[in-house]
Amino acid sequence: MIVNKMKATAVAPANIAFIKYWGKRDVGPNIPLNNSISMNLDCAQTTTTVEFDPAMKLDQVTISGQAAGKTETERVSRHLDLFRKLGKINHAAKVESTNNFPKGAGIASSASGFAALSLAAASAAGLKFTQKQLSVLARQGSGSACRSVPDGFVEWAAGDSSESSFARSIFSPDYWNICDVIVIVSHQQKKISSTEGHKLARSSPFFDTRIKGMEKKVAEIKKAMRKKDFSSFGEIIEAEAINMHAVMMTSVPPLYYWSPETLEIIKSVIEWRESGLEAYFTIDAGPNVHIICQGKDKSRVVRKLKTLRSVIEQIIIAKPGKGARLI
Ligand code: DP6
């Protein structure tokens, strides 16, 4: 007799957005106002095991061996409810999740976390989904998680309904040898989460202008990626990061995610470029800086970073990586 264990383990990568998701059309299901483009990070992953257990009354969630707090557990339980409903399961679940990057490293763990959770929960519930369906489900846990489902370089089509808002791979991981040199200047948890930040986006007087320019920007970056035109690509991602942070800083109340170190690194990257080292920065909702360079330049970037005055807590070098998969 085959015993159906109702247990599965999945791994999923974190991702860095080149064209950002900031501001939602619909808050509940995380429908964004614009398409976004990202790269999965090969060395920053979450591994999650889900086991539905008839003997359990409440969901139990551990993250890196520690019991998750109430808010985190509730967010995971709400997400599991999607799979319980689809799989007609009433049992509670045991969820064990570990990140191979340090907690609070400024790498968003909600993207890798909800992508891995979705795939593990689907499989544990005996459900089979297409990649598109899985991306739709992951998105409902955390918007950016839908981009951690497909491989490599990814586009999330904003759509205008839950079914039409999902991510797909536009280039495989080995398409382009570029790197993300992640510069961790603070391991501290940010005060305002992305989820809270999204709600403030519309209060910036520059938000409408940002959204109006998005379609053109997405078309331009895809063209630069098709041509492997690193210079045009880099200029677009830098301008885009500053555009999003301008919206953040002019929201009511304003959101300042940068620290003095962030600005020193921004200025240094621009200076290095002027002296022939072609690298560009992008920054998410936090003070840490992602320096995007070509594979051949990564060691030079790291050497340059070590000459800065800013205290750098950690440097992580990531290459384009695969999407979510069962293990
Ligand atoms: C700045 O996906 O974390 O990293 O959907 O509320 O979970 P929720 O938000 P989240 O937002 C990510 C914002 C960002 C930009 C990006 O990754 O595109």
Q: Is 185 in the pocket of ligand 1 (CB under 6 A)?
A: no
The C-alpha atoms of residue 33 and residue 22 are separated, in whole angstroms, by 8
**What's the pLDDT at 17?**
98
What 3-state class would DSSP assign to 299? Answer: helix
**What's the pLDDT at 309?**
87
Domains in the chain, please, with CATH?
A: 7-174 (3.30.230.10), 178-318 (3.30.70.890)
**What's the pLDDT at 1?**
46
Q: Is 79 in the pocket of ligand 1 (CB under 6 A)?
A: no
Preceding omega of 253 cis (within 30 degrees of 0): yes
Q: Is 150 in the pocket of ligand 1 (CB under 6 A)?
A: no
Between the CA of 24 and the centroid of ligand 1 the distance, in Å, is 10
**What's the pLDDT at 105?**
60
Between the CA of 202 and the centroid of ligand 1 the distance, in Å, is 15
What 3-state class would DSSP assign to 15? Answer: strand
pLDDT along the chain (327 residues), means of 10: 77 98 97 98 97 96 94 96 97 96 72 97 97 98 98 98 98 98 87 93 98 98 98 98 98 96 97 98 95 98 94 94 97
Phi, psi of 324 (to 5 degrees): -70, 140
Between the CA of 224 and the centroid of ligand 1 the distance, in Å, is 24
| Site to substitute for ligand 1 among 27, 33, 79, 144, most atoms within 8 A of C-beta | 144
Between the CA of 143 and the centroid of ligand 1 the distance, in Å, is 6
Q: Which two tokens stand for residue 155?
A: 């586009």
